[in-house]
Structure 1
Amino acid sequence: MDKFADTVAKYFAAIREGDTNTWVQLFAKDGVSHDPIGMASYTGHEQLEKFFTGINKAFAKVSFVEESTYVCGQYAAVKWNANGTGHNGVEVSFSGIDTFEMNDDGEIVELKAYWDLKGTMAKLKG
């Protein structure tokens, strides 16, 4: 597996494990996440950590499965599916597409996520 495919695999493994530190360290120091597109973006490790911690707090349990992964050099696109359970016991299924741009070291420079955050969170609240 090349370093770019490895970064993408580690990204989703960190989400599944709720591993904030590993997830953040996959980004370049000035890496940016648009998750999802159309919402506020997060730049740099401090902002990324706050974002990931906030998303983790919304779920008692969440699982992500990469349905299709396409790596083209320093770029990648992933179609994924997820299932989550809120702290209130409500279960939700959602899906999306993430696109990655990585630097020569395999760090994520820019992530663009396409999924329905507002709709998913509304369902999660019951």
Structure 2
Amino acid sequence: MASRGVVGIFLLSALPLLCLELRRGIPDLEEEEKNEKRQKLVRKKQQEAQGEKVVTVALRCPSGSILRRRFFKSYSSQVLFDWMMKIGYHTSLYSLSTSFPRRPLEVEGGRSLQDIGITVDTILNVEEKEPSN
């Protein structure tokens, strides 16, 4: 009987400490909302910064399909021809041209996508080259 009394007194004395620990474990809803807003803002800034560096290029193929891929603007313009060859259009038979105004895409060694004028999302046409006699 005496042991029950001791246990009861012990539990009553530990109750305030237990409440404090439980309170610390429950996250403050206002703090949580502030953190979520802060995370969203940081994520948005990161996406905007990334968007300034990246461009989406779409290739309109002779088959009618359109393939899209993202590149860093600082990449060599040669990556466009490498990609075109990878999807099955060899550079000896096909060329790339801009949609409007329609002109052949000039790729010189060492020039970046930005240097050749691809600074925004762009559609390029894959066209058969004229057979040379």
User: Which of the pair is proportionally richer in helix?
Assistant: 2
Classify the TM-score, shorter chain: under 0.3
TM-score (norm. length: structure 1): 0.28
The TM-score normalised by the length of structure 2 is 0.27
Higher relative strand content: 1
